[in-house]
Structure 1
Amino acid sequence: MSKKEKLIDRLIKKPKDFTFDEMVLLLSYFGYELKQGGTGSGVKFIKEGSNEVINFHKPHPNGVLKKYVLDQVVEKLRKDGQL
């Protein structure tokens, strides 16, 4: 199983320790690029060559994403036919 497949499987299981760095890597596999805004913790992932956007707050201080963020990303990727 490739690293991409392992990350997808891990995301779908929605573990309590899925990190922001893992999400950045996973979304890059799907063609999304991280765009960090101004002074806040909000981040956007924009899909190259389209207007598809996934946005949420970057977690701090530990970098572990909340379950609702995982739910949001899984729903978006499924809706777009990427999962």
Structure 2
Amino acid sequence: MKVAVWDTYVTRKDGKVMHFDILVDENTADANAVFEFGRKYLKTVMQEGQALTSEECQFCHIDKAPEEVENQIKEHGFSIIEMENCY
């Protein structure tokens, strides 16, 4: 499966900037759906309510997904790769 990678930077409640990628099926064209996936993730790391729009989250590139990521996307619609300050 090929995935669209959305590069995301969100300011946490403590002022630090989180960096994570939202991965979705390459055919997902609705940016608002991607933002909603990001908001779901933010809820899981106690950052609910933080801004997540096209200012914070932008399409980056298409890539081949490993099996684990592919399975997450099939089950939940998205996968997250945590890069910096996610906890």
Relative contact order higher in (CA < 8 Å, ≥ 6 apart): 2
The two structures have a TM-score, normalised by structure 1, of 0.30
Which of the pair is proportionally richer in helix? 1
Q: Which has the higher strand share?
A: 2
After TM superposition, the score normalised by the length of structure 2 is 0.29
